Each structure stands twice: as structure tokens, then as C-alpha cells.
Amino acid sequence: MLQIRYPQRRDSGFYECQVSTTPPIGHSMYLSVVEPITIIIGEPDMYIYKGSTINLTCVVKHSPEPPPAIYWTHNSQEINYDSPRGGVSVITEKGDVTTSYLLIQRANTPDSGKYTCNPSNANLKTVVVHVLNGEHPAAIQYGGQLRLQYPVSVFLLSVVVTLIGS
Ligand SMILES: *[C@@H]1O[C@H](CO)[C@@H](O)[C@H](O)[C@H]1NC(C)=O
């Protein structure tokens, strides 16, 4: 039995077990060491107009199994989805690639700050949200590329969608 403790990516490759008969017999297999990665679309900075919906998308890739949980924090405080503020919800879709969407409706100045996506089995990632003063009819969300975002009229409650992958 071959055991590799604390595997690193460089341990990936073909491993062969040989028996020293004549001729030698063996069996080889490929070991792939993966490292989960976490991305927040639009990081490190997102600029959002006051009154629009903040949509933070956190993606976890290369995880041998979906993260059992993904926690979101705002300025190091765990986000309370039942706060009097209202309009804060999270949707997590688990699979080969797990995606968690944090939606904050009617963005206001106190919603600015550091948001962290913390999957229970992968590195955390942080994005800084800047809520810009001044209303904009069709709120523009800027994060690397410009895109239009329409106001979400449906009030989303905390919904967890679980799609079992493979
Ligand atoms: C949030 O953004 C993602 C893409 O980053 C998009 O697929 C999703 O539909 C958006 N959700 C809402 C409610 O706007």
C-alpha cells in the first residue's frame, strides 16, 4: 500500500506498482491532486449604484466534492438573512462547480465594504463593494466588465437550491 500524506499538486502523475518477476509485471495509474479554488466574479472591487441590487457570485472549482457549506460575511460579520434590513438572500447551487449568489436589494451606503465568501472546504475570497451615491434608472454594476442589471422585482427569500452533480 502506497500512502502519500499531505499531497501537493507536484505529486500528480503516474504511479506504478511492479512485481519483480521475469518478466516484471506491473500496474500503473494516474493520480491527480487537485486544489479547490474560489473566485468572486468582479473581484477585487465592485461599483454599484445606490438602489440597485448587489449580486455577488462566488464560484468554487476543482473541489473533489461540493463544499458542505458556504458562509458569507460583510465586514467580518456573518450575514444575517433575517435582519430588519430585509432583501438579503443567498442561493447556492452545488455540483462539480458550486456557485453561491448573494443578493442584496436596494443597495445603500451601509452596504459598502468587504464581502467574503468562505466555502467550508476551500480558500475564502473577498470583494470590496462600493455603493455609489446617486440613483441610476437601470443600475449599472461594474466589475471588470460593464453590464446592465435590471431591478429584481421578485422578493427572494433564502432559498438553497441543491443540484447533486454527476
Ligand atoms: C447574478 O449574476 C449571475 C452572473 O454573475 C447571473 O447568472 C445571475 O442570474 C444573477 N442573479 C440575479 C438575481 O440577478
> Residue 43 in contact with residue 122, Cβ under 8 Å?
no
User: Domain limits of the chain?
Assistant: 37-144
Residue 28 has pLDDT above 80, yes or no: yes
Span from the CA of 118 to the centroid of ligand 1 (angstroms): 19
The rounded distance, in Å, linking the Cα atoms of 39 and 42 is: 9
Which among 55, 56, 91, 129 is the best mutation to test ligand 1's pocket, defined by most ligand atoms within 8 Å of the CB?
A: 55
pLDDT in tens, 107-147: 999 999 999 999 998 999 999 999 998 755 554 555 444 44
Map residue 95 onto helix, strand or coil. coil
State the closest ligand 1 atom to the C-alpha of 42, by its place in the atom list counted from 1.
5
CATH of domain 37-144: 2.60.40.10
Q: Kindly tell me the burial class for residue 141, based on how many C-beta atoms sit within 10 Å of its own C-beta (0-12, 13-18, 19 or more).
A: buried
**Residue whose CA is closest, atom 14 of ligand 1?**
55
Rounded to two decimals, the pTM is: 0.70
pLDDT in tens, 40-86: 999 899 999 999 999 999 999 999 899 999 999 999 999 988 989 99
Count of C-beta atoms within a 10 Å radius of residue 110: 10
